[in-house]
Amino acid sequence: MIHSVTRFAGRTALVTGASRGIGLAVAQRLVAEGARVVVTGRKPGRLTEAVALLGGPDRAVGVAGDTADDEHRAAAVTRAVEAFGGLDLLVNSAGINPVFGPLVDLDLTAARTTVEANVVAALSWVQHAHRAWLGEHGGAVVNLSSIGAFAPSAGLGAYSASKLMLVHLTRTLALELGPGVRVNAVAPALVKTRFSTAIYDGREAEATADYPLGRLGTPEDVAAAVAFLLSADASWITGQTLLLDGGLTLR
Ligand SMILES: NC(=O)c1ccc[n+]([C@@H]2O[C@H](COP(=O)([O-])OP(=O)(O)OC[C@H]3O[C@@H](n4cnc5c(N)ncnc54)[C@H](OP(=O)(O)O)[C@@H]3O)[C@@H](O)[C@H]2O)c1
């Protein structure tokens, strides 16, 4: 039997950090399956291009701002409800890694900035969305963690710790917000985006060698898993963090 895939018809999603990379792929997948989306990112020009790619104003609205800015978060959530009449799905994809280097020498301001953008902001997005819509109407949230949450990587200490905080935040929110709101996370290994270019550029064969599935991830791989967790297909799943790693952690 062939099913037409419209799992998100009539749903509105807000995807943070969605002018490119994983966030944009998630927004594209949700729109392809019937959703309307609000996408965020700091640079307005890139966001305008993303909105056009997503099918224009009937399907997508861009709200420019920094995920660490609370006024921006409040405005984007308000805009979603105004533009599309609700806010059923939230994807916390915006994330930063401003420093690379050993923890023992880490600039503590950078550590705080990382936790603020990757953890505190993600929590705040959930709070805003819950007050505006999810609390009364229900819905689903997916947070973008990282394999770094489970497998420490030298030089990425603050980033990895923030992503593990996000795993625990996901679990606690799932406990507190059920049964109306499901909260899950995905933890990808290396996905080919601008964010990770420095890690694989010029050495992709080497970077791929440890992956049993023989390749690095794509934004579309992550988008498919996020869409599953947001959909009714995952209606008995909450508080989980799904590893998306091409089998890497089996080694
Ligand atoms: N790529 C990987 O290998 C990988 C692996 C595991 C987890 N992740 C996680 O996946 C998420 C998305 O990463 P990605 O690879 O898709 O990155 P990306 O390709 O660099 O895209 C990042 C997106 O977020 C926006 N953004 C960046 N900083 C922001 C901020 N402070 N406030 C609001 N928007 C911001 C960017 O637009 P502007 O620059 O215009 O703001 C862009 O739209 C992150 O949370 C990352 O930690 C990535």
Domain membership of residue 34 (yes or no) is: yes
Q: What was the pLDDT predicted at 5?
A: 74
Which tens digit of pLDDT belongs to each residue from 57-109?
A: 999 999 999 999 999 999 999 999 999 999 999 999 999 999 999 999 999 99
Q: Give the Cα separation of 236 and 202 in Å (integer).
A: 42
pLDDT at 4 over 90: no
Whether 204 is in a domain gets the answer: yes
Enclosing domain of residue 104: 12-241
Distance 105 CA to ligand 1 centre (A): 25
Instruction: Give 2's DSSP letter.
Output: P
In a domain, 5, yes or no: no
Report the nearest atom of ligand 1 relative to the CA of 47. 40
Q: What does each C-alpha distance from 16 to 131, 135, 208 come to in angstroms?
A: 18, 19, 28
Calpha distance 176→64 (Å, rounded): 30
Question: In this structure, how many other beta carbons lie within 10 angstroms of the beta carbon of residue 153?
Answer: 13
User: Is the model's pLDDT at 245 over the cut of 80?
Assistant: yes
Residues 6+ apart with CB under 8 A from 82: none
β-pair partners for 151: none
The yes-or-no verdict on residue 24 having pLDDT over 90 is yes
**Catalytic (active-site) positions:** 159
- Segment 21-28 mean pLDDT: 98
Q: Is the pLDDT of residue 209 over 60?
A: yes
pLDDT in tens, 136-195: 999 999 999 999 999 999 999 999 999 999 999 999 999 999 999 999 999 999 999 999
**pLDDT tens digits along 40-54:** 999 999 999 999 999
For residue 10, what is the enclosing H or E element? none
Q: Which residues line ligand 1 (CB under 6 A)?
A: 17-23, 40-43, 46, 66-68, 93-96, 117, 144, 146, 188, 190-191, 193-196
Chain center to CA of 87: 16
pLDDT at 3 over 70: no
Cβ neighbourhood burial of 146 (10 Å; 0-12, 13-18, 19+): buried
pTM above 0.75, yes or no: yes
Q: Is residue 246 in some structural domain?
A: no
* Protein residue with least CA distance to atom 44, ligand 1: 95
Looking at the domain assignment, is residue 210 inside a domain? Answer: yes
The CA-based diameter of the chain, rounded to the nearest angstrom, is 58
In-domain check, residue 91: yes
Whether residue 21 lies inside any domain: the answer is yes
Report the number of distinct structural domains present in the chain: 1
247 occurs within a structural domain = no
144 alpha carbon to ligand 1 midpoint, in Å? 9
Atom of ligand 1 nearest to the CA of 25: 16
CATH number at residue 113: 3.40.50.720
